[in-house]
Each structure stands twice: as structure tokens, then as C-alpha cells.
Amino acid sequence: MENIQAQDPRLHVNEEPRDDLHDLMVGFGGMFGFMFVVFAIAVIVKFVNT
């Protein structure tokens, strides 16, 4: 028989606390910036080709 020690997961100390809202805002801002650059390049290409 194995020696199993069950522990309450609520007692676990989070080694690296994360700020989920900050991560969400950085991800949203980064994706928005990237898509804005893609949009701006597409508009420039459209006007150059006409």
C-alpha cells in the first residue's frame, strides 16, 4: 500500500501571483496594436495601388 498524503489545495502558496486583469489588458492592447498596424498597411497599399 502506497503512502499517500492528501493536502488541501487551498493551503498551497502561489509562488508567482499573477494579475489576470493586467495580463488581459496587455494582451488586448498588443493584439489591437498589431491589427491596427496591419489595417494601416492595408489602407496604404490600397491607396498606392489606385
- CA 20 from centre of chain: 9
Give the chain's end-to-end CA distance (angstroms, integer).
Answer: 78
Position 1 scores a pLDDT of: 59
- Distance (Å, whole) CA 43 – CA 36: 10
Residue pLDDT, tens place only, 1-50? 567 777 777 776 666 777 889 999 999 999 999 999 999 999 999 999 97
Instruction: Locate 23 and state its grid cell.
Output: 495580463
Per residue, the 3-state secondary structure of the chain, as one string, reads CCCCCCCCHHHCCCCCCCCHHHHHHHHHHHHHHHHHHHHHHHHHHHHHHC
Q: Identify the pLDDT of residue 31.
A: 98
Which pLDDT belongs to residue 9?
Answer: 72
Q: What is the pTM of this model?
A: 0.60
